[in-house]
Amino acid sequence: MSSLTNIYYFVSLATTRTHIVFTNENINAFIEQNIRNKLDDVLYHILNQKYIYHFVKRNVLIENVEPLINTLKTNKIRLNQLITKTRNEIAYEKRLILGANNELELKPIVERIFGVDLIKTLDKYDIYDFYDVNHKYVFEIKSLNITYNVFIGANKIANVGNFKLIFIFKCNVSRFIYYLIYSKDLFDSLELRNIEMRGKLTPSPMYIIPVKHLTVLHQTDRIILD
């Protein structure tokens, strides 16, 4: 049975010496073990100076490791592509975990404040996060770093049907919770365009919503929906 491992790229900041290694251990434990036992002379040299490392590729079959490393040693473009791809994958997974944790935390709070019983949508690609048992309301929960604006994809609004749409925003920095009830008049007045996120333009337009339109939610609030 084939086993899997991960590939890392280490760079000495003192000598610019580089080294590609693989391990299925926790990377911090792997580094500590190599410093203590000097298992790899080149890596030991790098680790005893100022250095950085990059996660290159996850879950590589052991039999594919050596050919891949040999390719990456001579193909820096491919090396950087894999580093960027893996970094983006990890960041995306962290956002999914954060979002799922926030949904779990906020569900009972939203139910209590708005007086509804919520059901989680089944598929991660569903347009909205929750709907109430009577299908009168849908809730979309967003976790983000709120500064001056928040952003809502045009697809969220295009699919508004015969229900009331409520957005819940949790700021990852301040931990404040905000809400916004969809209003056609408000959204018709907002700017709608593709915006840059994480260095790339969003594939579809986003509504840009100034924070002044959001209302802070307090644990003791009770909001009656129409």
pLDDT above 70: residue 179: yes
User: Tokens 């809400």 label which residue?
Assistant: 179
Q: How many CA atoms lie within 13 A of 175 on its CB side?
A: 2
Residues whose CB falls within 8 Å of the CB of residue 135, separated by 6 or more in sequence, listed in order: 163
What's the residue count for the chain?
226
Q: What is the pLDDT of residues 58-102, one digit of tens each?
A: 999 999 999 999 999 999 999 999 999 999 999 888 888 888 888
Q: How many helices (H) and strands (E) does the chain have?
A: 6, 14
The CATH fold of domain 101-217:
Trna Endonuclease; Chain: A, domain 1 (3.40.1350)
The string of pLDDT tens digits covering residues 201-216 is 888 899 999 999 999 9
CB 48 within 8 A of CB 92: no
Beta strands 137-144 and 191-193: pairing type?
unpaired
- Residue extents of the structural domains in the chain: 4-74, 101-217
Q: Are 215 and 180 in contact (CB under 8 A)?
A: yes
